[in-house]
Amino acid sequence: MGSGSSQPARKRISLAFLIGLLCFLVGYFAGREHIKYEIRQISRNLAQSALEGIGQAFSKSFGASKPSSLAADQERTKQREEREYLQYVKLENIKVGQGYGQFDVPGYSNTKPSVSATLRNIGDRTLRTVRVTVYFLDKDGHRIGEKSYSPVSGFSFDDDSPLKSGYVRDFGYLIGDDAPSTWANKVEVEITEVEFLDPTV
């Protein structure tokens, strides 16, 4: 009789155990799903923040490149206009002669070969710099050497003022040892570069 009454008790215990185990498993997996959901939410938030950060960085970078690109375009336009302006600067009275250096004493020091000429700005722009190239010629008129010189420059010891529209500038260049030994005292002079004082003057 004791044995018969213990069987229903064991069944009740087994049933209770199964129900408890089932509840535990349901709670466990439900909890795991909740954790998965939280992880997914955190991942989404992190991804969204990262994308927003990348977008802002790209926008800033793109925005910063606009002024740089604009400045580059303006510089190219300025250089093109300066090249086109070369036709408005004229060379006159080109002569090869003898002259004195900056520290020579006329009448006491020996004279040296020199080139002199006149610049005339017939355009409407003020020039900060005018650069000329002197080509040395041999007896057959062939170019055998060259030397560049800036008669208009902010770094000139003689006259550092700009060349305004309509103005004229006389200049002289002391050749010294720049000419090759076969130079025949003949030159060609070309204006090779000008620089505007500013974009509008």
Average pLDDT, the chain: 79
What domain range is 138 assigned to?
88-196
Question: Partners of 173 in the beta sheet?
Answer: 115
Tell me the average pLDDT across 47-62.
58
Residue bearing tokens 């926008």: 59
For 14-32, the pLDDT digits (tens) are 655 666 556 555 554 444 4
What's the domain count of the chain?
1
19 found inside a domain: no
Residue 103 belongs to domain with CATH number: 2.60.40
Residue 52 to residue 74: CA distance in whole angstroms: 33
Tell me the average pLDDT across 65-89.
86
104 found inside a domain: yes
Q: What is the CA radius of gyration of the chain?
A: 44
98 found inside a domain: yes
101 found inside a domain: yes
Question: Partners of 98 in the beta sheet?
Answer: 113
11 found inside a domain: no
Tell me the average pLDDT across 59-69.
59
